[in-house]
Amino acid sequence: MNARRMFRLYGIEVRSEFLRLLRTPIYAFSTLGLPLMFYAFFGLALNREAAGGLPPMARYLLASYGAFGVMAASLFGFGVRLAIDRGLGWLEVKRASPMPPPAYFTAKTVVCLCFSAILVALMFTMGVVFGGVRIAASQLLLLGASLVLGALPFCALGLAIGYFATADSSPAVVNMLYLPMSFCSGLWIPLPFLPHALQQAAPALPPYHLAQIALAVLKAPSQGAIGTHIEALIGFTLMFTALAWVGHQREQAKMY
């Protein structure tokens, strides 16, 4: 198969996956509606100078709730959908088709990043239009790119969840990981206001590192160097991918 036909095939798979999720109301609400609703309540409605030298809430929460949103898009879009596809036997159908095996996972990753980009764009628009947030266009683009690319470790985590959880249990598993990690990483409440024990444990969680990168881009108070946080996210991505590979091999052993 030449490169042109291969590119077209991957494009069809991406388009189909995007329409599939777009036509799933519960996914659109959980990934787009919930983070935007939280940002409207806590970022816009309570838009004032924060304590502890933090910037106004509408600006500060662009970073933390942006990270919160891309986590949702990745974990629900990848983990839950993969578990459902496994339960329905859709992976066997895909394997029997002429489609290259990587196309399925590539499409899911691209679509999760697309939904992350849509969420980030909507949140930025809300902050600028309704929250009075003033950020240079270059800084806004850098923040958006950081958040969208920062979704990759959570795509890998979703891939691992999708292989180990069943179709019925995957939403609960995602929520059991997604919500506590968000809180303990300082995405809902600024990290300096959390108990000391949680502040010490936060660096062991991937959302913490994504949030710190976003805060550094916003020039808000952050912890550690950006390079250290990037290395940590790369490490989490590799670890989750290895875990997903173990799940994939286990699935192959069961099937054959």
**pLDDT tens sequence across 25-76:** 888 887 888 889 989 888 887 766 555 556 678 888 899 999 999 999 999 9
**Could you tell me if 133 and 127 are in contact, meaning their C-beta atoms sit under 8 angstroms apart?**
yes
How many domains does the chain divide into?
Answer: 1
Nearest residue to 120 (alpha-carbon basis) of 95, 147, 101: 147
Torsion of CA 242, 145, 190, 54, to 10 degrees: 150
Query: Is 254 within the bounds of a domain?
Result: no
pLDDT of res. 182? 93
> What H or E segment, with its residue span, contains residue 231?
helix 226-255
Structure tokens at 192: 């300096």
Structural domain range at position 150: 3-248
d(CA 50, CA 209): 22
Residue given tokens 């339960």 in the structure block: 87
Query: Is 253 within the bounds of a domain?
Result: no
Query: Is 29 within the bounds of a domain?
Result: yes
Query: Is 106 within the bounds of a domain?
Result: yes
Total count of residues recorded for the chain: 256
Task: With a cut of 70, say whether residue 195 has pLDDT above it.
Answer: yes
**pLDDT tens sequence across 152-191:** 999 999 999 999 999 889 999 999 999 999 999 999 888 8
Query: Is 221 within the bounds of a domain?
Result: yes
